[in-house]
């Protein structure tokens, strides 16, 4: 059997928009992905639907898979002829043990590529408003491991060289050893007044910072119960933060949003919320399988109602594959949502909303297998695809919830409420417990009615059912600090 190929990919520091183009291409073509805890799980949604996902995440003093097992898995999957991605947080060459993994692959003569990523030690400070070098403050920069393989885990370093010879130092995952770090830097020549900042979950919307000096930061960390994953930055360049801090000033920074999802396609609403500084967890994750359709009578219908943007694409793909001239279809087109209408508009068709369907005679409803005729009992149904819950993402969703501190729930449509609650039950998650204490926002009055009917409370609706209005509503009316 032909050997596969392995891509050792840096996922970047957390914000999924910071992954490299090459790294994203590798994910999109992967047959197997072995991913770490600090690689943003949202990146896995770019993988093919049949891609095998293997969690290799590590927590302090607890390993899901030890490094030797990971090396063996990479070799095993590649020898099966698979295209494998090893997805690692930050840059794989910066404390990512990529050298060990590459050596194992080379031993078996398995082809591989190493795809660099943006390192957390540079990105997290920048998202906190701190460049690690500056002509007036810092002409040198070092990245340093804050623990090693010794029994006590205390790093054996050239402390004098660091203290006297490096202007800015980034310590990785060193909260537990912070007193030891500060003591050694002071002992070997760093002034006790040297600024220190801890950046937790850097580049995520949940990013938090804690600032102090070598003399007092350890005590502050205990008081604030600050923990990993954090970058510890030491140096005078931290003073620039007051002038150029930008990320934490974004309108939705601190918002950790659970967004009900009805489509398997990328969400424009989720993108807008992320662009405005929020963390967004979308649920549930759907997968869609196209089905063969019978187009024998398609030219006989006077009206065609598309229930989703996906149904538009599936319908016209089937029309082309069956060699039907679109000009022979003379029906008026309708969309069940703004997105559906937009999908038709993008194909050059003027479409009306389903609410304008006054005479449902000779009506065809096109969509996935969840179609319900409802008030159109006489309509014909064309099922173009099967949509089902992607069970592979349920444990991943639970891990995302464990890592986050969700404070907001958004239902974008009335159709999103019931599938969301059903999917939670499929994952053995209690909706009442999960949503307890969250600000539940409904996009529109119909959505609000569906939320209330489901027995959930809601804080209200934006002025309009648009992503821009939602951002304004969350930022201005209900800031996170009031949660």
41-91 pLDDT tens trace: 999 999 998 999 999 976 555 566 888 899 999 999 999 999 999 999 999
Task: Report how far residue 156's alpha carbon sits from residue 208's, in angstroms, rounded to the nearest whole number.
Answer: 29
- In the prediction, which pLDDT does 103 show? 97
Confidence class for position 378, pLDDT limits 50, 70, 90 = confident
- Whether residues 304 and 383 fall in one domain: yes
- Whether residues 306 and 167 fall in one domain: no
Q: Is 173 a catalytic residue?
A: yes
In total, the chain counts a number of residues equal to: 483
Mean of the pLDDT values across residues 257-284? 93
Q: Where are the alpha helices (DSSP H) in 50-119?
A: 67-79, 98-107
pLDDT at 15 over 50: yes
Confidence class for position 482, pLDDT limits 50, 70, 90 = very low
- Whether residues 96 and 136 fall in one domain: no
- In the prediction, which pLDDT does 60 show? 54
414-445 pLDDT tens trace: 889 999 999 999 999 999 999 999 999 999 89
- Whether residues 237 and 126 fall in one domain: yes
Q: What is the mean pLDDT of the chain?
A: 92
- CA 158-160-166 angle, to 5 degrees, is 90
Q: Is 430 a catalytic residue?
A: no
CATH number at residue 58: 3.40.1010.10
Q: Among 387, 422, 446, where does a domain finish?
A: 387
282-303 pLDDT tens trace: 999 998 888 999 998 999 999 9
The C-alpha torsion from 25 through 27 and 30 to 34, rounded to 10°, is: 150
CATH number at residue 394: 3.40.50.10090
- Whether residues 278 and 402 fall in one domain: yes
- Whether residues 175 and 313 fall in one domain: no
- Whether residues 142 and 245 fall in one domain: yes
Catalytic site residue from 15, 36, 91, 368: 36
Catalytic site residue from 3, 22, 58, 208: 58
Where are the extended beta strands (E) located within 264-321?
279-283, 286-290, 303-306
Task: Report how far residue 473's alpha carbon sits from residue 83's, in angstroms, rounded to the nearest whole number.
Answer: 44
- Whether residues 281 and 407 fall in one domain: yes
Q: Among 350, 369, 387, where does a domain finish?
A: 387
- In the prediction, which pLDDT does 376 show? 63
Mean of the pLDDT values across residues 270-274? 96
- Whether residues 127 and 243 fall in one domain: yes
pLDDT at 277 over 60: yes
Closest CA to 244 of 148, 369, 129: 129
Residue of higher predicted confidence among 32 and 147: 32
Mean of the pLDDT values across residues 28-45? 95
**3-state DSSP call for residue 95?**
coil
Domain limits for position 411: 256-285+390-482
- In the prediction, which pLDDT does 151 show? 61
The structural domain count of the chain equals: 4
User: DSSP assignment, residue 267?
Assistant: P
- Whether residues 62 and 82 fall in one domain: yes
Mean of the pLDDT values across residues 385-392? 91
- In the prediction, which pLDDT does 428 show? 92
218-230 pLDDT tens trace: 999 999 999 999 9
143-193 pLDDT tens trace: 999 876 666 778 889 999 999 999 999 999 889 999 999 999 999 999 999
Percent of the chain beyond pLDDT 70? 95
Catalytic site residue from 173, 382, 400, 409: 173
Task: Report how far residue 169's alpha carbon sits from residue 167's, in angstroms, rounded to the nearest whole number.
Answer: 7
- In the prediction, which pLDDT does 465 show? 87
Q: Is 58 a catalytic residue?
A: yes
- In the prediction, which pLDDT does 173 show? 87
- In the prediction, which pLDDT does 483 show? 35
- With 0-12 CB in 10 A as exposed, 13-18 as middle and 19+ as buried, what is 125? buried
**3-state DSSP call for residue 390?**
coil
Confidence class for position 321, pLDDT limits 50, 70, 90 = very high
- Whether residues 88 and 222 fall in one domain: no
Mean of the pLDDT values across residues 234-259? 96
- Whether residues 312 and 375 fall in one domain: yes
Q: Among 353, 387, 421, where does a domain finish?
A: 387
């Amino acid at each position: 059997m032909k050997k596969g190929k392995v891509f050792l990919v840096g996922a970047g520091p957390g914000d999924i928009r910071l992954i490299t183009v090459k790294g994203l291409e590798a994910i999109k073509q992967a047959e197997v992905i072995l991913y770490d805890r600090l690689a943003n799980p949202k990146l896995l949604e770019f993988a093919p639907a049949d891609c095998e996902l293997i969690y290799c995440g590590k927590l302090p003093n607890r390993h899901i898979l030890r490094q030797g097992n990971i090396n063996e898995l990479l070799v095993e999957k590649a020898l099966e002829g698979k295209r494998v991605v090893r997805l690692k947080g930050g840059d794989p060459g910066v404390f990512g043990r990529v050298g060990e993994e590459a050596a194992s692959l080379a031993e078996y003569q398995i082809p591989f590529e190493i795809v660099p990523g943006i390192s957390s030690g540079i990105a997290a400070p920048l998202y906190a408003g701190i460049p690690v070098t500056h002509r007036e403050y810092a002409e040198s920069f070092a990245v340093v491991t804050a623990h090693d393989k010794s029994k006590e885990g205390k790093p054996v370093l050239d402390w004098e060289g660091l203290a006297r010879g490096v202007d800015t130092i980034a310590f990785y995952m060193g909260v537990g050893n912070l007193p030891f770090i500060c003591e050694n830097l002071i002992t070997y020549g760093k002034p006790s007044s040297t600024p220190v900042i801890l950046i937790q979950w850097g580049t995520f919307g949940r990013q938090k910072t804690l600032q102090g000096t070598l003399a007092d930061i350890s005590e502050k960390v205990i008081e604030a119960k600050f923990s990993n994953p954090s970058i510890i930055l030491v140096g005078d360049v931290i003073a620039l933060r007051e002038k150029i801090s930008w990320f934490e000033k974004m309108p939705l920074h601190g918002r950790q949003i659970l967004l009900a999802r009805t489509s398997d396609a990328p969400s424009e609403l989720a993108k807008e919320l992320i662009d405005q500084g929020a963390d967004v967890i979308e649920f549930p994750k759907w997968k869609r399988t196209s089905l063969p359709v019978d187009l024998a009578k398609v030219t006989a219908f006077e009206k065609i109602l598309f229930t989703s943007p996906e149904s538009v694409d599936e319908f016209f793909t089937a029309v082309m594959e069956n060699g039907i001239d679109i000009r022979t279809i003379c029906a008026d087109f309708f969309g069940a949502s703004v997105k559906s209408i937009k999908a038709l508009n993008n194909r050059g068709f003027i479409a009306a909303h389903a609410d304008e369907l006054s005479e449902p005679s000779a009506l065809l409803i096109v969509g996935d297998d969840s179609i319900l005729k409802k008030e159109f009992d006489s309509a014909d149904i064309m099922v173009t695809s099967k949509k089902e819950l992607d069970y592979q993402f349920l444990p991943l969703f639970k891990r995302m919830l464990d890592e986050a501190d969700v404070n907001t729930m958004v239902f974008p449509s009335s159709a999103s409420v019931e599938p969301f609650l059903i999917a939670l039950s499929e994952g053995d998650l209690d909706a009442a417990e999960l949503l307890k204490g969250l600000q539940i926002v409904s996009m529109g009055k119909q959505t609000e009615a569906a939320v209330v009917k489901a027995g959930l409370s809601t804080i209200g609706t934006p002025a309009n059912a648009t992503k821009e209005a939602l951002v304004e509503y969350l930022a201005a009316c209900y800031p996170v600090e009031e949660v």
